[in-house]
């Protein structure tokens, strides 16, 4: 087997595959032989990734899905399984920064929006994917959490975001226990700052200008490279967790942050 065939014959579903970390994973998994189904609420971007995969000689499909809507997630998984016959790999990655604000300024709607996409969306993704993985005799689920839900709590204003990201880690651990006997592995990746568009859409309270996430790090604050990570580096980690090379790894969160969280946590 050559390295390019590590995921030959596998079908991967990626939520939020049209941009950023999901896009990096879609391209990486496709490069290594997987058929990729992208469930994204922005199909225009996901269709560009599909074209890129096809130009590499791979196969991909896009199903417009809002991960916070149960009927859409159920339909997206069904469409993926019907189109390609099965699902082996699930990358529950779609997410938003949402509103960052002091606790008293954070409205209930702000809280609900962040939690409904990041945490409820992850729950729905797993809920509707697992029957297909079980039918297939097992599989690998990877969840995109964040250093913010686990190690870094120095960004004041990120209460909703960090709560959603910590909840994803708890969900990962519970489901790894529950689904192990079905030969389904569940792991989480916890990125530090990664160079994507997510911060462009962040709604930061005017009183919290100082909490804006930095993509470039002041010298020495990110020990390894001194700058944000790339979607390609995240794709490599997702590839590892999706492949049989991680066959004994489940219930684990892996930090991909250049050791940033060890000094900022
Ligand atoms: P991004 O904005 O580049 O991509 C997010 C993708 O998710 C987009 O394609 C978007 O259309 C899709 N999406 C958003 N809401 C959706 C919904 N309700 N239903 C379906 N699709 C939806 O952002 P990114 O940085 O690649 O973020 C991906 C994940 O990584 C998120 O869960 C985020 O919290 C996490 N993360 C990012 C960073 C970072 O620095 N970029 C750090 C830690 C964790």
Residue 233's contacts (CB-CB under 8 Å, 6 or more residues apart) are 24, 194, 256
Instruction: List the structure tokens of 184.
Output: 């389904």
ipTM summary value: 0.99
Q: From the CA of 204, how far away is ligand 1's center (Å)?
A: 16
Told to judge if 255 belongs to the known catalytic residues of this protein, a careful annotator would answer: no
Residue nearest to atom 3 of ligand 1 (CA): 20
* Whether the predicted pLDDT of 255 surpasses 80: yes
Residue 162's contacts (CB-CB under 8 Å, 6 or more residues apart) are 146, 148, 149, 153, 155
Residue 156 backbone class (left: φ over 0; alpha: ψ -120 to 50; beta: rest): beta
Pocket test for ligand 1, best of 14, 91, 168, 198 (most atoms within 8 A of CB): 198
Residue nearest to atom 33 of ligand 1 (CA): 95
- DSSP-derived 3-state class of residue 184: strand
Please tell me the predicted confidence (pLDDT) of residue 213. Answer: 53
Q: From the CA of 205, how far away is ligand 1's center (Å)?
A: 20
Please tell me the predicted confidence (pLDDT) of residue 216. Answer: 66
pLDDT digits (tens, 9 = 90+) for 31-43: 999 999 999 999 9
- DSSP-derived 3-state class of residue 3: helix
Indicate the pTM of the whole model. 0.96
Please tell me the predicted confidence (pLDDT) of residue 1. Answer: 41
Q: Which residues line ligand 1 (CB under 6 A)?
A: 15-16, 18-22, 40-42, 45, 65-68, 93-96, 117, 121, 144, 146, 191, 193-194, 196-198
For residue 38, the 8-state DSSP code is: E
At residue 3 the predicted structure's pLDDT band, cuts being 50, 70 and 90, is very low
pLDDT digits (tens, 9 = 90+) for 84-117: 999 999 999 999 999 999 999 999 999 999 999 9
- Cα 74-186-98 angle, rounded to 5 deg: 65
Please tell me the predicted confidence (pLDDT) of residue 207. Answer: 60
Please tell me the predicted confidence (pLDDT) of residue 154. Answer: 72
Active-site annotation holder among 128, 132, 161, 255: 161
Pocket test for ligand 1, best of 18, 94, 150, 188 (most atoms within 8 A of CB): 94
Please tell me the predicted confidence (pLDDT) of residue 263. Answer: 82
In terms of pLDDT, which residue wins out, 153 or 22? 22
Residue 115's contacts (CB-CB under 8 Å, 6 or more residues apart) are 160, 163, 164, 167
Cα dihedral: 227, 228, 230, 231 (round 10):
180
| Mean per-residue pLDDT, 69-80 | 98
d(CA 131, CA 86): 10
CB atoms within 10 A of CB 97: 20
d(CA 185, CA 241): 9
* Whether the predicted pLDDT of 209 surpasses 70: no
Q: From the CA of 194, how far away is ligand 1's center (Å)?
A: 11
Is there a contact between 260 and 222 (Cβ–Cβ < 8 Å)?
yes
- DSSP-derived 3-state class of residue 186: strand
Residue 25 backbone class (left: φ over 0; alpha: ψ -120 to 50; beta: rest): alpha
Q: From the CA of 29, how far away is ligand 1's center (Å)?
A: 18
Is there a contact between 120 and 69 (Cβ–Cβ < 8 Å)?
no
Phi, psi (degrees; rounded to nearest 5) at 214: -95, 130
């Amino acid at each position: 087997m050559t390295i390019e065939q590590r995921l030959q014959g596998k079908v991967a579903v990626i939520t939020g595959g049209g941009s950023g970390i999901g896009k990096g994973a879609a391209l990486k998994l496709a490069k290594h032989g997987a058929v990729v189904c992208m469930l994204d609420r922005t199909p225009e971007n996901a269709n560009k990734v599909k074209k890129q995969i096809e130009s590499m000689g791979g196969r991909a499909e896009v199903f417009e899905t809002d991960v916070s809507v149960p009927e859409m997630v159920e339909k997206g998984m069904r469409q993926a399984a019907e189109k390609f016959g099965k699902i082996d790999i699930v990358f529950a990655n779609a997410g938003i920064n949402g509103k960052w604000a002091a606790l008293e300024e954070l409205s209930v709607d702000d809280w609900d929006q962040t939690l409904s996409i990041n945490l409820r969306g992850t729950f729905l993704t797993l809920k509707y994917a697992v029957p297909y993985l079980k039918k297939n005799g097992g599989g690998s689920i990877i969840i995109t959490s964040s250093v913010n839900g686990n190690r870094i709590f120095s960004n004041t204003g990120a209460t909703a975001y960090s709560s959603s990201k910590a909840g994803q880690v708890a969900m990962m651990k519970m489901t790894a226990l529950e689904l192990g006997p079905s030969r389904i592995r569940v792991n989480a990746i916890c990125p530090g700052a990664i160079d994507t568009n997510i911060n462009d859409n962040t709604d930061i309270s005017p009183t919290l200008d100082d909490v804006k996430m930095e993509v470039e790090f002041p010298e020495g604050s990110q020990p390894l490279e001194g700058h944000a990570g790339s979607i390609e580096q995240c794709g490599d980690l997702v590839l590892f967790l999706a492949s049989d090379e991680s066959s004994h790894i489940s219930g684990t969160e892996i930090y991909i942050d250049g050791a940033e969280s060890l000094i900022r946590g």
